[in-house]
Amino acid sequence: MKRLPGYLNRIEGELWLTEDERENLKLSYRIKDVLFEEKSPFQHVMVLDSYDFGPMLVLDGVVQTTSMDGHIYNEMIAHVPLTLHPAPQKVLIIGGGDCGAANEAAKYDTVEAIDLVEIDEVVVRACKSWLPEVSGNASDPRIRYHYVDGVKFAAETREKYDVVIVDSSDPVGPARQLFESEFYRSLFKALNDDGLMVCQSQSPILHQDVMMQTYQRIGELFPYRKMYTAVVPTYPGGLWSFTIGSKRRLPEPEHIRFSKKARYANEEILRRCFALPTFLEELLASRS
Ligand code: SAM
């Protein structure tokens, strides 16, 4: 019997991936084929072809991005900060090994350099080969790949950036430190005086503790802070949060102008994504 790749099981002859890193919620995806599998020094990397979401990147058994909905997250984590900054030239992406956010940043003519700092080159290789719907060809000459720990890079870089995007996996394994105050302090130092950062801050439904801790930590460092949301179908709970920390006052949403080619983001979405559900507004207010 051919060995089943890790995290997959066979039920009545069908292949299934079950995300079982959560105690009380298990999400399962029926899988057509295993397109890529490799154990890297950091994590177990797979690209699986799923029936409902097409090819998907799976790290240590957890779905990271899919060809069906990856553009929602990648457009929203990139275009919100990049439109809030008047003329972004230097962009730093921490994580983002699926290259989706980097491709979105490359849509800005003002951008001269995109430093993509991904700890695991296997992720980039797998996505470029097997997840082109998300990674594109990611061959824009402005994208400079650095296969190092984002914590180390941020602490040691002498570069100054206009926008920093922390496109991390969940706060486990190598990504755990990307949610720590020390890392955010390094990012603060790496930002120009009018710079801003954004990070994915987990689910307002299922991960309120991490979300609030992230919101608080960024608020302790940055004079201006905002949260916005988007719905990403393959993320547990659907609704997902993003937290911005900015060194300068952010323009009012109605002043946001957007005309890039995108499948989910548009000018109205980028303006209205800051409108938060009442429970979330009250939660943020309770801890501000
Ligand atoms: N856009 C999807 C999402 O929101 O989940 C995927 C994010 S991307 C795949 C997350 C990346 O962060 C992974 O490729 C992982 O290898 C990388 N990563 C985790 N810890 C890291 C660290 N300390 N430094 C740099 N990259 C890291």
Tokens, residue 63:
């779905």
Work out the number of other CB atoms within 10 angstroms of the CB of residue 53. 18
Q: Separation of 286 CA from ligand 1 center, angstroms? A: 30
Is any ligand 1 atom within 6 A of the Cβ of residue 236?
no
- Give the burial class of 24: count Cβ atoms within 10 A of its Cβ; 0-12 exposed, 13-18 middle, 19 or more buried: exposed
List, in order, residues 6 or more apart from 241 with CB less than 8 Å away: 200, 201, 202, 203, 204, 211, 227, 228, 229, 280
Q: What is the pLDDT of residues 108-155, one digit of tens each?
A: 999 999 999 999 999 999 999 999 999 987 889 999 999 999 999 999
**Which of 71, 118, 152, 243 to mutate for ligand 1's pocket (most ligand atoms within 8 Å of CB)?**
118
Q: What angle do CA 72, 69, 117 make, to 5 degrees?
A: 65
Specify the DSSP element, H or E, that contains 39.
Answer: strand 27-39
* pLDDT score recorded for residue 2: 62
Q: Separation of 11 CA from ligand 1 center, angstroms? A: 30
What span, in angstroms and rounded, lies between the C-alpha atoms of 128 and 114?
17
Of 3-7, 83-87, 158-162, the one with minimum mean pLDDT is 3-7
Residue of 32, 165, 156, 7 lying closest to 101 (CA atoms): 165
- Give me the torsion for CA of 133, 139, 144, 147, rounded to 10°: 50
Work out the number of other CB atoms within 10 angstroms of the CB of residue 87. 10
Tokens, residue 226:
């905002």
Q: Separation of 120 CA from ligand 1 center, angstroms? A: 8
Is any ligand 1 atom within 6 A of the Cβ of residue 150?
yes
Q: Separation of 255 CA from ligand 1 center, angstroms? A: 31
For atom 12 of ligand 1, which residue has the closest CA? Answer: 95
How many angstroms separate the Cα of 30 from the Cα of each of 15, 18, 53? 6, 9, 10
Tokens, residue 253:
């949403």
Is 167 one of the annotated active-site residues of the chain? yes
Q: What is the pLDDT of residues 2-28, one digit of tens each?
A: 677 778 999 999 999 999 877 888 899
Q: Which atom of ligand 1 is nearest to the CA of 74?
A: 1
What span, in angstroms and rounded, lies between the C-alpha atoms of 27 and 234?
9
**Active-site residue, selected from the candidate residues 60, 149, 162, 167:** 167
Q: Which atom of ligand 1 is nearest to the CA of 57?
A: 9
Q: What angle do CA 153, 208, 169 make, to 5 degrees?
A: 35
Is any ligand 1 atom within 6 A of the Cβ of residue 64?
yes
Q: What is the pLDDT of residues 195-239, one digit of tens each?
A: 999 999 999 999 999 999 999 999 999 999 999 999 999 998 899
Is any ligand 1 atom within 6 A of the Cβ of residue 122?
no
pTM value is 0.96
Q: What is the pLDDT of residues 40-58, one digit of tens each?
A: 999 999 999 999 999 999 9
Dihedral of alpha carbons 261, 79, 127, 232, sign: negative
- In DSSP terms, 206 is beta-bridged to none
